[in-house]
């Protein structure tokens, strides 16, 4: 068994060889909690949830660290605009950050993303960041600004391999815009520490050897990953948009400080809307809360996880309907096979082991489209086995389908997806169909077969199929 993943740094598929046998350390750049989460945030969190689930299935003990950036230029800017509709007048920056953090946590939970092993906030690792900056200054790779601003910059010219992650030459890079350029030696030098400004709240600064201030964005992840996974760990993940400058700068400052840092770099693709990149300027961002109102959270998970993780998802109207139909085929089979095997010698049989071709796809850089193809093939085979009364085969396939859906987090019978009430429309449809089934049963008992057939036909015309079994008559929506 060999898991292969696409390493952004080498731009090639690599065999995953862990630093410690049987263990995998994974650091994922989490959200900057400046506003509500959008569907791109959901997609990124889901990608690494799927990586984690597969690594666990393959026998690894996984430590997943996903940080929260709770101090940042954008957070302070959002807090200073408290008069806008989305914000609250007089709300401190830290309260705003925490409020949005809770929104992210709830959105992740709703689509079944497992909680990370550790979820550190940037503000809880300030001392580690300052220690890392001090090391860089002592080694000649960082310098305090020359304008007495209190800023500290990474000296990109001091590190010959700067640009290796994204294969850029420093002279071709855009200038870093995260601090005032007056105190820099070169436009590409980026801020490690930002001196406190008069218009910023006192609560958004910490004492340091260079004066009161706060950390730069990039230094946060270098310090937190090292704190929770050590200076050398297995996988660093994040969205494709983070490769530059964020991950490029992380790599440079960590290596320059003497840390080996991540062995592999993994990046997930982004989410477009109707062929366009989501952006505030275009006004086409779809927030997670709104998206989760369009379909069941399970359907949202299926949709966001169905494409290859490195590809771009292009959301369009009707996409969730397609995902719902695909998921319903799995759900109908599992309901049907469980019901049919009840009270038979096959009721508890069927080992929950994934088929070899599913495992092969997942081992191949988490090729979920191919893995889903295997899943749906097995569902079709399972229905055929039930139609042919081959209960032994149906039981085996049920075990395989459960195993595959558990790994993908889309088992519709799992406790986290069960809802006792359902939507008002679901409850109304269930009541109407069950009433018609009762009428049909009465007609059959009265030997009024014409009425019984008429009820079945009317339901069929409405897209509802009936299945008579030893445990009664059951209905499902035809696909």
Does residue 307 fall inside a structural domain? no
Does residue 324 fall inside a structural domain? no
What confidence score (pLDDT) does residue 178 get? 86
**Which residues, other chains included, contact 166 with Cβ-Cβ below 8 Å and sequence gap of 6+?**
243, 244, 248
Q: Which two tokens stand for residue 376?
A: 């749906």
Q: Which two tokens stand for residue 154?
A: 């990474």
What confidence score (pLDDT) does residue 427 get? 54
Does residue 320 fall inside a structural domain? no
What confidence score (pLDDT) does residue 475 get? 73
Is residue 223 within 8 A of residue 129, CB to CB? The reply is yes
Reference 220, options 75, 101, 79, 68; nearest CA is 68
What confidence score (pLDDT) does residue 420 get? 42
Does residue 23 fall inside a structural domain? yes
Reference 335, options 409, 413, 401; nearest CA is 413
Instruction: Say if residue 457 is exposed, middle or buried (CB neighbours under 10 Å; 0-12, 13-18, 19+).
Output: exposed
Does residue 242 fall inside a structural domain? yes
Question: Number of folded domains in the chain?
Answer: 3
Query: Do 370 and 279 belong together in one domain?
Result: no
Rg (CA), the chain: 27
Does residue 295 fall inside a structural domain? no
* Domain coverage including residue 399: 329-417
Instruction: Say if residue 474 is exposed, middle or buried (CB neighbours under 10 Å; 0-12, 13-18, 19+).
Output: middle
Q: Which two tokens stand for residue 107?
A: 């959105």
Query: Do 256 and 180 belong together in one domain?
Result: yes
CATH assignment at residue 191: 3.40.50.620
Report d(CA 131, CA 141) in Å as an integer: 14
Query: Do 176 and 247 belong together in one domain?
Result: yes
Query: Do 26 and 136 belong together in one domain?
Result: yes
Q: Is 435 strand, coil or helix?
A: helix
Does residue 315 fall inside a structural domain? no
Report d(CA 55, CA 23) in Å as an integer: 9
Backbone angles phi, psi at 15, to 5 degrees: -70, 135
Report d(CA 71, CA 215) in Å as an integer: 8
**Which residues, other chains included, contact 301 with Cβ-Cβ below 8 Å and sequence gap of 6+?**
46, 111, 112, 409, 410
Among residues 290, 309, 342, the one where a domain terminates is 290
Query: Do 153 and 282 belong together in one domain?
Result: yes
Report d(CA 218, CA 154) in Å as an integer: 10
What confidence score (pLDDT) does residue 446 get? 79
CATH assignment at residue 387: 1.20.120.640
Reference 218, options 142, 295, 113; nearest CA is 142
Does residue 310 fall inside a structural domain? no
Query: For 279, left (φ over 0), alpha (ψ -120 to 50), or beta?
Result: beta
Among residues 369, 391, 417, the one where a domain terminates is 417
> pLDDT tens track of the chain, all 479 residues?
799 999 999 999 999 999 999 999 999 999 999 999 999 999 999 999 999 999 999 999 999 999 999 999 999 988 887 544 445 667 899 999 999 999 999 999 999 999 999 999 999 999 999 999 999 999 999 999 987 889 999 999 999 999 999 999 988 899 998 888 888 999 999 999 999 999 999 999 999 999 999 999 999 999 999 999 999 999 999 999 999 999 999 999 999 999 999 999 999 999 999 888 887 767 788 999 999 999 999 999 999 999 999 999 999 999 999 999 999 999 999 999 999 998 888 877 778 999 999 999 999 999 999 999 999 999 999 999 999 999 999 999 999 999 999 999 999 999 989 764 445 555 567 678 777 887 887 788 778 888 878 888 888 888 788 877 655 676 777 65
Query: Do 232 and 370 belong together in one domain?
Result: no
Query: Do 121 and 258 belong together in one domain?
Result: yes
Query: Do 61 and 131 belong together in one domain?
Result: yes
What confidence score (pLDDT) does residue 449 get? 83
What confidence score (pLDDT) does residue 421 get? 43
Among residues 417, 438, 463, the one where a domain terminates is 417
Sign (positive/negative) of CA torsion 68, 71, 74, 78?
Answer: positive
Query: Do 86 and 177 belong together in one domain?
Result: yes
Report d(CA 245, CA 156) in Å as an integer: 12
What confidence score (pLDDT) does residue 302 get? 98
Give per-residue burial for 274-295: e unless 16+ CB within 10 Å, then b.
eeeebeeeeeebbbbeebbeeb
What confidence score (pLDDT) does residue 147 get? 79
- Which whole-number Å values give the CA distances from 327 to 39, 98, 351, 411, 412, in the listed order? 20, 34, 22, 9, 8
- Which whole-number Å values give the CA distances from 438 to 280, 363, 428, 473, 474, in the listed order? 54, 49, 16, 9, 11
Query: Do 456 and 407 belong together in one domain?
Result: no
- Which whole-number Å values give the CA distances from 268 to 236, 298, 322, in the listed order? 11, 21, 22
Query: Do 27 and 70 belong together in one domain?
Result: yes
Query: Do 389 and 472 belong together in one domain?
Result: no
């Amino acid at each position: 068994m060999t898991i292969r993943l696409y390493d952004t740094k080498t731009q090639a598929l690599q065999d995953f060889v862990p630093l410690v046998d049987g263990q995998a350390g994974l650091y994922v750049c989490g959200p900057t909690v400046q506003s509500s989460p959008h569907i791109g945030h959901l997609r990124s969190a889901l990608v690494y949830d799927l990586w984690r689930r597969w690594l666990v299935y393959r026998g690894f003990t996984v430590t997943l660290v996903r940080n929260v950036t709770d101090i940042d230029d954008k957070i302070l800017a959002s807090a200073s605009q408290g008069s806008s509709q989305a914000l609250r007048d007089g709300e401190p920056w830290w309260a705003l950050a925490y409020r949005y953090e809770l929104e992210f946590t709830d959105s992740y939970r709703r689509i079944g993303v497992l909680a990370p092993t550790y979820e550190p906030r940037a503000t809880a690792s300030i001392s580690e960041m300052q220690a890392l900056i001090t090391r860089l200054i002592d080694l000649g790779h960082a310098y305090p600004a020359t304008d007495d601003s209190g800023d500290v910059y990474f000296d990109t010219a001091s590190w010959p391999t700067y640009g290796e992650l994204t294969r850029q030459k420093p002279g071709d890079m855009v200038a870093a815009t995260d601090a005032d350029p007056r105190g820099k030696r070169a436009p590409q030098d980026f801020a490690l520490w930002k001196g406190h400004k008069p218009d910023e709240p006192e609560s958004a600064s910490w004492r340091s050897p260079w004066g009161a201030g706060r950390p730069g964005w990039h230094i946060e992840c270098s310090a937190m990953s090292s704190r929770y996974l050590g200076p050398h760990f297995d996988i660093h993940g994040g969205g494709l948009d983070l490769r530059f400058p964020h991950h490029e700068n992380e790599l440079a400052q960590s290596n320059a400080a003497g840390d080996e840092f991540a062995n592999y770099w993994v990046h997930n693709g982004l989410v477009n809307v109707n062929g366009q990149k989501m952006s505030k300027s275009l006004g086409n961002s779809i927030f997670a809360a709104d998206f989760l109102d369009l379909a069941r959270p399970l359907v949202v998970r299926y949709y966001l996880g169905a494409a290859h993780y490195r590809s771009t998802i292009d959301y369009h109207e009707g996409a969730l309907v397609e995902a719902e139909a695909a998921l319903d085929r799995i759900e109908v089979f599992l309901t049907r096979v469980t019901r049919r095997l009840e009270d038979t010698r096959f009721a508890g049989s069927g080992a929950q082991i994934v088929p070899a071709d599913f495992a092969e796809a997942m081992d191949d850089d988490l090729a979920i489209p191919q893995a889903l193809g295997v899943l749906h093939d097995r569902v079709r085979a399972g229905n055929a086995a039930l139609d042919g009364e081959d209960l032994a085969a149906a039981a085996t396939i049920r075990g395989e389908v459960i195993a595959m859906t558990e790994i993908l987090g889309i088992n519709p019978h799992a406790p986290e997806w069960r809802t006792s009430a359902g939507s008002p429309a679901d409850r109304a449809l269930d009541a109407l169909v069950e009433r018609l089934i009762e009428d049909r049963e009465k007609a059959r008992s009265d030997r009024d077969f014409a009425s019984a057939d008429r009820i079945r036909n009317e339901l069929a015309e409405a897209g509802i199929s009936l299945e008579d079994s030893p445990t009664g008559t059951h209905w499902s929506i035809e696909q």
